[in-house]
Copies of this chain bind each other. A is one copy, B any other.
Amino acid sequence: MADTASPLNKISEFRLTRRVQFYETDAAGIVHFSNYLRYLEEAECALWRAAGLRLEPNAEHAWPRVAVSCEYRSPLTFEDEFEVRIQIAALTDKSIRYAGVMTRGDVLVATLTMTAVCVAKSTGRAVPLPAAVRERVEVSPDVAA
């Protein structure tokens, strides 16, 4: 992460460890299914921080999502510790596709996909990924999901 001068020093994945908070559960006693997308976003932001970048909306660009999917395999309950592994699954000129795998110990919790596009704030139209972004990431050689 330190040597940003190296052209090889690209990031293709990140593993986030996280505990279930009480406010994320629902009356079925498990994590509400909508929160899995928030967990994936949390891992996505951690990946970009690890790459030395911040992909928040700024004066120039925003990163709206165009598609997400999630397959739920095993529920999470209050205080469960789990891992979100996020990988760069594909890069196009104007978009990034992520793959996510959530696990609790050896148990598969969920698999996810998410695609974001880079949009110019001034026009609201998709534009090529900034060079600073493209330089820092690469497609994972071993996409899990």
Chain A 60-80 near chain B by CB (<8 Å), digits 1 or 0: 001111111111100101110
Q: From known contacts A28-B57, A35-B34, A38-B34, infer whether A45 and B64 are also in contact, taking CB-CB under 8 Å.
A: no
Task: Select from chain B the residue with minimum beta-carbon distance to A62.
Answer: B28
> Which residues of the other chain, B, contact A25 by a CB distance below 8 angstroms?
26-27
**Per a CB cutoff under 8 Å, which of B22, B34, B45, B67 touches A26?**
B22
- B49 touching A23 by the CB < 8 A rule? no
Q: Give how many copies assemble into the complex.
A: 4
Q: In the bound complex, do residue B45 and residue A21 qualify as a contact, i.e. CB atoms below 8 Å apart?
A: yes
- Does A138 lie at the interface of the complex (its beta carbon under 8 Å from any beta carbon of B)? no
Q: Are A77 and B27 in contact (CB under 8 A)?
A: yes
User: B68 contacts A64, CB within 8 Å?
Assistant: no
Given the known interface contacts A25-B26, A45-B79, the answer about A64 and B57 at a Cβ–Cβ threshold of 8 Å is: no
Closest 6 CB pairs of A and B: A25-B27, A69-B69, A34-B37, A28-B57, A33-B65, A23-B38
Q: Which of B21, B65, B70, B72 contacts A42 (CB 8 A)?
A: B21
Contacts of A72 in B (CB 8 A): 64-68
Residues on B with C-beta less than 8 A from A21 are 38, 41-42, 45
Nearest B residue to A69 via CB reads B69
Interface residues of A in 73-113 (CB under 8 A from B): 75, 77-79
Q: Which residues of B contact A70 (CB under 8 A)?
A: 67-69
